[in-house]
Amino acid sequence: MDVQSIKNRFGIIGNSPGLNHALHVAIQVAATDLSVLINGESGVGKEVFSQVIHALSARKHNPFIAVNCGAIPEGTIDSELFGHEKGSFTGAVDSRKGYFETVNGGTIFLDEIGEMPLGTQARLLRVLEAGEYIRVGSSKVQKTDVRVIAASNKDLLELAHRGRFREDLYYRLNTVPIRVPALRDRKDDILLLFRKFTADFADRYKMPSVQLTEEARQILTEYSWPGNVRELKNIAEQISVLSKEKTITADQLRTFLPEQPFAGLPVVAGGSNNVTQTEFANEREIIYKLFFDMKKDVNELKKMFFEVLQNPAMAQNIPAYYGDHKSVDFEPLPSGAIVTPKSNQPVFIRPNTPDAIQHHEEVDESLSIVDKEKELIIKALKKHRGKRRDASIDLGISERTLYRKLKEYDIENL
């Protein structure tokens, strides 16, 4: 079967060389039982490639199941994949079959496999090498014949070097690698996808299809699309439903495109998969937020200090910073008085004379990234009244990553 017929069958749109190469590899490997590792950023359509491989394989009449490893809690993922016996843990009132048992003879697609716990990775490696597994709470070895297709939006080899992913499992999964290109690397496909999405939404909602001006088309193709095809589809639906005008100008289009606050941040160089900026979306994004907040605070303090140096009379109105840098009290105090913060913040000494401004007291503040990260997580939980899902969205990390951080920092749910 040629590439174009596969595209038509599975609704794959685009003609970029990277996309065509990925499809060629998928078609070639489908007839085998080799393990496949699909790499690509979130939203590029990795699951479609797993469906292509299954549909063209000898297992096409047997079950296919897609499992998001990042969406299953660490305490239950072994039970979900391998099953459990009655009484093996609290709540196990009955025996249960796992996916490797129910999908026997078929294909299992393990998405976000980089989120899989190390203990579960060891069990998976046993399945890949010997086709054997043991239910949770059992000692009986069972056989399974399941083809495993894995996918990740992270550099698994880098995770292996950091001790967060088994290196032997990486090489076992990476028998045949498939790299799905990001949408920003398929600029010629962006307008094709947009037209297809808007036509589909126009048909679904019984309304005329929107059109873009030349300048709007230019903006659409130059946008970086960190959410890839998924984000483009969402934007197309918003424009189709919310736009009163059916000819979209550049200014109108900008109102639908989100700002990109981290567009100027550096990219990690090196590695076989060329790790890109979008892979900072989890824990490192928290660190960036901390750095920006700290930089803002320091700049405000510098500005205030130099203003006082230039005009000593302003010392009577030096602000007292209380905990949050947004809370500022301006209280005129007697000469020589000390501005006392309500929490462990820097202490400013009110000068008696212009010459006395050189005399000051400094209070060390912790600049540990770990401490700041813990503090930010606690603030997010308090803000959302202990709702982990909302807190993880606010922090820009997955709910599973937040759960792991709570255990790591011994933070009780607030």
Q: What is the pLDDT of residues 244-297, one digit of tens each?
A: 888 999 999 999 998 765 444 444 434 444 444 444 444 555 665 666 667 667
pLDDT value, residue 295: 66
Would you say residue 326 has pLDDT above 80? no
Report how far residue 224's alpha carbon sits from residue 228's, in angstroms, rounded to the nearest whole number. 8
The string of pLDDT tens digits covering residues 341-376 is: 444 444 444 444 444 444 444 545 555 677 778 888
Considering only CA atoms, which of 148, 255, 250, 238 is closest in space to residue 194?
Answer: 238
- The mean per-residue pLDDT over the stretch 330-342 comes to 47
**Domain 184-254 - what CATH class?**
mainly alpha
Q: Which residues does residue 178 pair with via DSSP β-bridges, in sequence order?
A: 38
List of long-range contacts for 321-326, beta carbons under 8 Å, 24+ apart: 321/345, 321/346, 325/293, 325/296, 325/297, 325/300
Q: Is the pTM of this model over 0.85?
A: no
Q: Quickly name the fold that domain 3-181 has.
A: Rossmann fold (3.40.50)
Considering only CA atoms, which of 179, 228, 140 is closest in space to residue 37?
Answer: 179
The string of pLDDT tens digits covering residues 206-235 is: 999 999 999 999 999 999 999 999 999 999
Considering only CA atoms, which of 254, 268, 257 is closest in space to residue 227?
Answer: 257
- Is 76 in contact with 128 (CB distance < 8 Å)? no
**Kind plus residue range of the DSSP H or E element containing 338:** strand 338-339
pLDDT value, residue 223: 95
Residues with Cβ within 8 Å of 64's Cβ and at least 6 positions away in sequence, in order, are 51, 54, 103, 106, 107, 108, 109
Phi and psi at residue 158, in whole multiples of 5°?
A: -65, -40
The string of pLDDT tens digits covering residues 28-48 is: 999 999 999 999 999 999 999
Tell me which residue has tokens 């736009």. Answer: 243
Domain ranges of the chain: 3-181, 184-254, 287-358, 367-408
The string of pLDDT tens digits covering residues 133-187 is: 999 999 999 999 999 999 999 999 999 999 999 999 999 999 999 999 999 999 9
In this structure, CATH architecture of domain 367-408:
Orthogonal Bundle (1.10)
